[in-house]
Structures are given as structure tokens and as C-alpha cells.
Structure 1
Amino acid sequence: MRYKFLFSIFVFFFISVFLALGSWQIIRLNWKLELINQIETSLKDIPVNLSNSKHKNYLRVKTRGSIDFEKQIYLYNLNEKGKPGFEVINPLKVGNNNYLLNRGWIPFNKKEDETINVIDENYINGVLRKQIKPNIFKPENDLSENYWFTLDRDDIFKFTGKNFSPYVIYLSGNNEFPKPKSITANISNNHKKYALTWFSLAISILLIYLYLRKKNY
């Protein structure tokens, strides 16, 4: 009898855990759907003046400033078709503030090509994205060769001698090279699938438990 009691406690403990995990995924799902909706709404808004706005993720902005081409950063990345190359990133001074301007992707053979540096500094439209922490599994940046794998802030300071806003400006436009990165609300959202998995496990364990209990009584 004691064995059956302990077994019941064991079963209902795991059912409770799986139900809690499923409920947490529902909470995450609602949060992610709200975030996606906010991003989609923000990307449809008219660009606001960078200097007069409260910075936030996915804010469309417009500004003018001084682009530093001498400290141009070449960040290894794939384009939208999976072809390797570089994202071209420049220090941008707007008033007294420094930003990183991601101008888009180029193939390897365009590195150091002066034709990619034709841009109107008085007409810069883009989208703000908050810089995330670098992936620790990526190779170290080679500053001497200007070959980057992450936008490590310590390396950026060593390379430029400047500190920058935590927000990167992703340039908008239809240039061929650098080809601006398409910013969308296409964010991974698998929380519904995870919730169904946890709830299914809870129900399955409950049904097996009820079957075994009926069989033994």
C-alpha cells in the first residue's frame, strides 16, 4: 500500500512539473506575440529624428553625421542567400554621440574597394537594433587584418579609440553594395509547440497512471 502511495506522489509530481512548464511556454508565447506585434508596428512607422527620440529596438530613424571610413570594420557574415562575405560597419558621429552604422553586406572581393564608400552623410535612414553580446564560440577578431567575427566592444575600442551607443543603426535602402540588411519581425517563436509537448506529456502520464491503477484494483 505504501508503494502505491509513493508511486502516486511520484506520478503527480511529474504531471505538475510538465503542466507548469507548459503554462510557462504559454506565457512566453503571449510575450513573443506582443513583441512581434510591437516590432511590426515600429517598422511601419515614419522615421523619427535620431537625436530627438528615445532609443529603442527596431525604431526607424533618420539622421545626418560624419562617417569614419578609415576605421571601417569588416564583419564576417552570410548574406540572405547564405553566401559568405562581410558586413560593412562604420563609426558614425552624430553631434556628440558615436554610433556604429551597419551599411550592409559585400562579397569578399569588395573589401577595401573605394566604390562601396559612396554615401550621402546628410541623408541616413535606418533601423536601431540593440547590440547583443557576442557568441563566445566564434573565433577571435583579427584587428590587424580588419577581419571580424563579432562586434566585441573591447575590440571596437582598441580599433577605434571610441565608445559607442549600445544601439547599432542598420542602414535602409536599395544599394547593390553594400546591400543593406533587411530588418523584419521574423523572430523564432516555437513556444506553442513546446507548450503542446509539455501538456501532451502530462496527459499521457496521467492516462497511463489511471490505466495502471484500474488494472491493479
Structure 2
Amino acid sequence: MSRNIRWVRLSIATILAAGFVAVFMSLGIWQVHRLHWKLDLIARVDSRVAAAPVPAPGPNAWAGLTREGDEYRHVAVTGTFLNDQEVQIYTPSMFGPGYWVLTPLKRDDGTIVMINRGVVPEEKKSPASRVAPAGVQHITGLLRLSEDHGWLFSQKDRPQDGVWYRRDIASITQTKGLENAAPYFIDQDLTDPEGFPRGGQTVVKFRNSHLSYAITWFAMALLSLVGWGVVLRQELKNRD
């Protein structure tokens, strides 16, 4: 085999190996960053869920709320439910097809906080099938920020028909004409293990596979180097 052909093959192998190593290393490093983010999220959520409830943020604090600083905080709020403004949002559940029940809670200062009272099965979707809470309510639960964006294949909300597929608080409160509404909602704690809506359904356990993904990508980068080494050795052997 001529020297020129060998150099062409070696050059191509080197370029491919360098490209694969760069891509695989970048993906591995990204997974390491995601691993640290996920571990921080888990630690943050665990500490907030276990903490004693604090007063839910009032209007002066709404503009400064962030997912990193406020979501999953254990909060408490007092008010009266506006049961005629209830919204049901489809969700898979332990009962099969189910619905989140979101009801506006009006506080003494006139502000509104949407309360996710929990999940109900299909046969309990209609408010007529349940007893509506009356009078002043003392609610504790986890602060959640509005779900403004859906998943890739999720259905679009139809506010004009009163149908939502995610807990988009701004869309719900605007459609319902609820003024002075908080930009967050509260996932109510479990109060009745047998009743509906069934609270305490917030997912606070997060899948964490970033370490295994990072190891996989770094291993692929190493295999690319090994493959390049094999090609280099063979070409040098052919030259000799």
C-alpha cells in the first residue's frame, strides 16, 4: 500500500476519533453538571418538604418568586374557597385516569391563591359527586409555580372551553376573571387518606441517572481513543 493512501486513512481516522472524543466528552461533562443540579434539587426539596409551614407569599413577594428559591416550600394559607370556580385538569394517577382539582381560595386581603386540593378518579370529576368545603379553610401544602409550558406531545389548553391539560395559573385565573391572583399554586397536604380530592400527591422523588449516563459517555470517548490507537498501530505496522 502506498504511503499516501496510508496517510489518508490515518488522517481520516484521526479526524473521526477527535470528533467522537469531543462529542462524547462534552456529553459526559454535561451529564456531570446535570448530576450536581439534580443532587442540589433533591437536597433542596427534601429540606423544604420536611420544614414547618410558613405563611404563603403575599403580593409584595410575587414578583421575586423563583423555582430555585421558592418551589416546594411548605406553606400555609387561610381563606374561603370559591367552589363555583373549580377547575379539573387531567392527570394519570394511582386510580387510572384522574383529575387535579384546582379551586381558588380567597384570602382576607382579597387576593386569590389557587389550591390544588388533590386528585380524583374519573367518576369523581364532577363537583356534584363531592362535598364542597364551606367556610374558612386553613390550608397547608407545597408551593408550586405555574406550569406555563406543556410537554412535547401534550395537548394544548382550551381556555375558551374551560379545558386545561396543565396547571397554567395565569391562563386559568385570567379566563375565570380572578383578579389579584398569585402566580403560584399550592399542592395541598394529605388531610383525608380515604376522601376525595386526595391531597399529598406531589412528586418529590426525582429519578437520578445522570452518573450512569456520564460514565457511559466517558466510556464511549475512551473507546474512540482505543479504536484510534488500533488504527494507528496497524498503519505503523504496515509502514514497517
**TM-score of the two chains, using structure 1 as the length reference:** 0.86
1:123 corresponds to 2:142: no
The 1:107/1:17 distance shift into structure 2, 3 A limit, reads closer
Alpha-carbon distance between aligned partners in 2 of 1:35 and 1:51, rounded to the nearest angstrom: 21
Identity of aligned residues (%): 25
Contact 1:143 1:159 in 2 (8 A): no
1:173 corresponds to 2:190: yes
Contact 2:80 2:135 in 1 (8 A): no
Q: Cα offset for 1:186?
A: 1.0
Alpha-carbon distance between aligned partners in 2 of 1:21 and 1:186, rounded to the nearest angstrom: 25
* Residue aligning to 1:190: 209
* Residue aligning to 1:86: 99
Q: Which runs of 5+ in 2 are unaligned?
A: none
Q: Which runs of 5+ in 1 are unaligned?
A: none
Contact 2:100 2:116 in 1 (8 A): yes
Alpha-carbon distance between aligned partners in 1 of 2:25 and 2:176, rounded to the nearest angstrom: 50
RMSD of aligned residue pairs (Cα, Å) = 2.5
- Identify the structure with the greater helix proportion: 2
Q: Cα offset for 1:47?
A: 0.6
Moved over 6 A (4+): none
After superposition, the C-alpha distances for 1:49-80 in whole angstroms (9 at most, x for unaligned) are 2247965100001120121111111111222x
Rg (Cα) greater in structure: 2
Alpha-carbon distance between aligned partners in 1 of 2:46 and 2:229, rounded to the nearest angstrom: 47
Alpha-carbon distance between aligned partners in 1 of 2:34 and 2:87, rounded to the nearest angstrom: 36
Letter of the aligned partner of 2:215 in structure 1? L
Alpha-carbon distance between aligned partners in 1 of 2:131 and 2:100, rounded to the nearest angstrom: 12
79, 102, 108: which one aligns with 2:122: 108
Secondary structure of 1:170's counterpart equals: strand
* Residue aligning to 2:164: 148
